[in-house]
Amino acid sequence: MAVVTLTINDEMVSAQEGQSLLSVLREHGIEMPTLCHLDGLSERGGCRLCMVELEGNARLQAACVTPAAEGMMVHTHSERLVKYRMMILELLFSERNHVCAVCVMNGNCELQYEAAKIGMDHVRYDYLNPALPMDASHERYAVDHNRCILCSRCVRVCDEIEGAHVWDVMGRGANSRVITDLNQPWGTSLSCTSCGKCVQVCPTGALFTKGATVAEMEKQHDFLRWILDGREKKVWAHGNGK
């Protein structure tokens, strides 16, 4: 793969041609906010928090789905970008019913973390206060649509890692929500393996383990890389690949 040279925040760097800008930025120690991205899953480019400015392009681009190219001039934390990221986070909080004080992920929530990091202390938009349900029909887990940010991590991990494709998204715009199978209660799903991968990759308290109390849940993402590395090296097939 060819090597390309680009400029990030006035510093010249090299990258593999076609490599995502997000991975290039992280390789060079530039931390970018993300919510829909998770190492080991396909990219969606939905949350738009990792947007960057490219000189010569009036539109902001999501770094996770933009490939590095020769001669790119990239800016990552301009005043314009910070303004847009703040707006996105405020809209996420106003769209659903995020009450951090009573959430199982309080203190460990990725949405909460990004809001605190950017300095968000209020929401300028009207809260929609939708009447969203909670599904606790599963024996071990529950889904609270009030805290879902539609990042689709649960959809992708179930499809790409577990291979069950229990989760999907129905509806449009503010009416969108994640569903199991053909919009049936999670506990009645015949395709769900109860593996819990969807719960672990969820960035908020939308998917949680039953019995968890306020601020008690901590989710682990390391299993994704462990599974993918094992598959690549075929450590579980034919006597550890030998």
Mean pLDDT confidence for 18-23: 96
* Percentage, residues of the chain above pLDDT 70: 97
Residue 241 lies in a domain: no
* pTM greater than the 0.75 cutoff: yes
End-of-domain residue from the set 77, 107, 129: 77
- Do 168 and 209 lie in a common domain? yes
pLDDT score at 75 = 98
- Do 97 and 217 lie in a common domain? yes
- Do 128 and 198 lie in a common domain? yes
Full residue range of the structural domain in which residue 57 is found: 3-77
**What is the overall mean pLDDT for the chain?**
95
pLDDT score at 90 = 98
- Do 155 and 52 lie in a common domain? no
pLDDT score at 234 = 86
- Do 110 and 197 lie in a common domain? yes
Q: How far apart are CA 222 and CA 113, in angstroms?
A: 19
Which among 62, 64, 70 has a CA at the least distance from the CA of 39?
Answer: 64
pLDDT tens digits, one per residue of 37-52:
999 999 999 999 999 9
Question: Quick one: angle between helices 79-95 and 110-118, nearest 10?
Answer: 140
- Do 69 and 134 lie in a common domain? no
Secondary structure (3-state) at 34: coil
| Burial class for 223, CB neighbours closer than 10 Å (0-12, 13-18, 19+) | middle
End-of-domain residue from the set 15, 42, 77: 77
pLDDT tens digits, one per residue of 157-209:
999 999 999 999 999 998 999 999 999 999 999 999 999 999 999 999 999 99
